[in-house]
């Protein structure tokens, strides 16, 4: 099959191929999970002569008959035949009722190497997490990073290329169509509708779909803004909607479970604890965000913040929003025992902006890495120990 490889993810997963751990690949629909499974299959074929590989895609009607865990076990055992060892790949496994029972059964036989994908962050919650405790590996997939976007679309790094990435997002399928509004946004609107219907409305049996759509529009208009109960309440009143806060919070949770948006909590840098009140939301794909709320140049500051957040997630950082007295740090990033503080701003040309961005970082009383990211093409490299990165360089070079 002809496809472009996602090397970063393959490097993370290859040490576990052939191991008894169940490999669980999760992420928003259409970020490339299915093609990544094909990539793993091809890797296995390169390393092993004539492997027995079974692939089930629950979005393919030919597998419509596999509805329960017993259907799955019966089918794969019959297809495997007398082979002593087999590789099993199941795409969108959450559509199979009590699939966790099948996984536990097959894993206990020690003759299967199992890979599954799902479009829900709670795929491994509850009973499955208990049944498979310590016996699975979870890998989160995201849309294309900026470097992958350049590769997929055969672009050179340039301001124009970055603006296309900012406008159209990182869904891999876009490399099959022309990057212009009249072709991209009809596709993205269909993806958006599919995510809302399959992974939110249908899964959680939501009846008030009109409010759900208004809520996504609200989030699209408030990227990187603190979302509080009062702010949601004010929004509800403006829309003449009577809905209690608990229901709204449930809807927000459903959207995060589908990887449609990501919730980032605040952390108190003095007390070293997460704060329960107020969080920020970022979109899993900016192109889909623009299919909800049209791209506007005045939104670029918010969009830069969203792009930086996604890149940090791709790099597997744990992220929170920092609070230090009345100052705010856009991202507190933690990975492998290291901490990094990041501020994101459209430009540093204004002295007041410099005082705010530098001042917030300099107020942090530790010697951890501190960075300001800007869209400015020409800027100093450092200020009082703070690193200053252009956004494109950050997306291509920062690890």
Q: Find where tokens 């979005």 sit.
A: 59
pLDDT band at 190 (very low <50, low <70, confident <90, very high): very high
Mean pLDDT of 355-374: 96
Which of 39-53, 90-104, 126-140, 220-234 shows the highest mean pLDDT?
A: 39-53
- Whether the pLDDT of residue 125 is over 70: the answer is no
Name the token pair of 242.
């009577």
Asked whether the predicted pLDDT for residue 87 surpasses 70, the reply is yes
178, pLDDT greater than 60: yes
* Nearest-angstrom CA–CA distance, 103 and 76: 11
In the chain, beta strands by DSSP E: 22-26, 53-57, 86-91, 112-118, 136-140, 261-268, 273-283, 318-324, 327-335, 338-345, 369-374, 382-383, 386-390
pLDDT tens for each residue of 204-222: 999 989 889 989 999 999 9
Do 280 and 225 meet the contact criterion of CB atoms below 8 Å apart?
A: yes
User: Given this model, what pLDDT does residue 229 score?
Assistant: 66
In the predicted model, is pLDDT for residue 271 greater than 70? no
Q: Which two tokens stand for residue 325?
A: 């007295």
Q: Can you give the three-state secondary structure of 72-109, one letter per residue?
A: HHHHHHHHHCCCCCEEEEEECHHHCECHHHHHHHHHHC
Instruction: Show me where the domains of the chain are located.
Output: 7-140, 146-397
Residue 370's closest CA among 307, 318, 306, 322? 322
Instruction: Please tell me the predicted confidence (pLDDT) of residue 1.
Output: 65
DSSP 331: E
| CB distance 299 to 322 below 8 Å | no
3-state SS class at 346: coil
Contacts of 192 (CB under 8 A, 6+ apart): 288, 291, 292
CA–CA distances in Å: residue 231 to residues 63, 235, 277, 278, 333: 45, 6, 12, 10, 26
Q: What is the pLDDT of residue 139?
A: 95
pLDDT score of 240: 77
Structure tokens given for 222:
């408030």
Average pLDDT across the chain, whole number = 93
Indicate the fold that domain 7-140 takes in CATH. Rossmann fold (3.40.50)
Which residues, 6+ apart, have CB-to-CB distance to 204 below 8 Å?
250, 254
Q: Among 8-17, 62-71, 83-92, 118-127, where is mean pLDDT lowest?
A: 118-127
**Confidence check: pLDDT of 237 > 80:** no
Cα angle 8, 12, 18; round to 5: 130
On the question of pLDDT at 236 being above 80, the answer is no
Residue 128 has pLDDT above 70, yes or no: no
pLDDT tens, 331-355? Answer: 999 999 999 999 999 999 999 999 9
pLDDT at 380: 82
Instruction: Please give the Cα distance from 82 to 223 (Å, whole number).
Output: 54
């Amino acid at each position: 099959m002809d496809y472009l490889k996602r090397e970063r993810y393959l490097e993370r997963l290859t040490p576990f191929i052939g191991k008894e751990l169940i490999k669980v690949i999760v992420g928003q629909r259409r970020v490339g999970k299915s093609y990544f499974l094909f990539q793993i299959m091809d890797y296995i074929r390169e390393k092993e002569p004539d492997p027995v590989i079974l692939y089930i895609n629950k979005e393919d009607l030919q597998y419509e008959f596999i509805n329960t865990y017993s259907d799955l076990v019966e089918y794969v055992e019959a297809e495997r035949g007398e082979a002593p060892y087999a590789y099993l790949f199941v795409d969108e496994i959450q559509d199979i009722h009590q699939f966790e029972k099948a996984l536990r059964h097959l894993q206990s036989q020690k003759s299967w190497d199992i890979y599954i994908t799902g479009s829900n962050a709670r795929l491994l919650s509850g009973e499955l997490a208990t049944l498979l405790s310590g016996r699975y590996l979870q890998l989160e997939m995201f849309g294309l990073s900026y470097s992958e976007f350049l590769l997929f679309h055969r672009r050179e790094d340039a301001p124009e290329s970055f603006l296309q990435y900012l406008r159209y997002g990182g869904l891999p399928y876009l490399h099959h169509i022309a990057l212009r509004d009249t072709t991209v946004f009809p596709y993205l609107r269909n993806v958006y509708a599919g995510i809302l219907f399959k992974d939110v409305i249908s899964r959680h049996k939501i009846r008030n779909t009109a409010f759900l759509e208004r809520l996504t529009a609200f989030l699209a208009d408030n990227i990187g803004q603190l979302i509080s109960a009062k702010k949601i309440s004010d929004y509800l009143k403006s829309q003449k909607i009577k809905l209690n806060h608990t229901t709204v919070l449930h809807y927000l949770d459903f959207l995060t479970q589908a990887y449609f948006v990501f919730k980032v909590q605040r952390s108190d840098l003095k007390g070293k604890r997460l704060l329960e009140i107020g969080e920020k939301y970022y979109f899993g794909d900016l192109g889909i965000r623009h299919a909800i709320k049209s791209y506007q140049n005045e939104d670029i500051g918010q969009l830069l913040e969203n792009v930086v957040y996604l890149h940090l997630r791709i790099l597997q950082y744990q992220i929170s929003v920092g609070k230090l007295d009345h100052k705010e740090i856009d991202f507190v990033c933690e990975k492998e025992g290291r901490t990094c503080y990041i501020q994101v701003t459209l430009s540093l040309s204004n002295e007041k902006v410099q005082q705010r961005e530098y001042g917030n970082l300099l107020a942090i009383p530790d010697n951890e890495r501190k960075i300001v990211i800007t869209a400015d093409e020409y800027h100093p490299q450092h200020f009082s120990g703070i690193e200053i990165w252009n956004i494109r360089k950050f997306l291509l070079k920062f690890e």
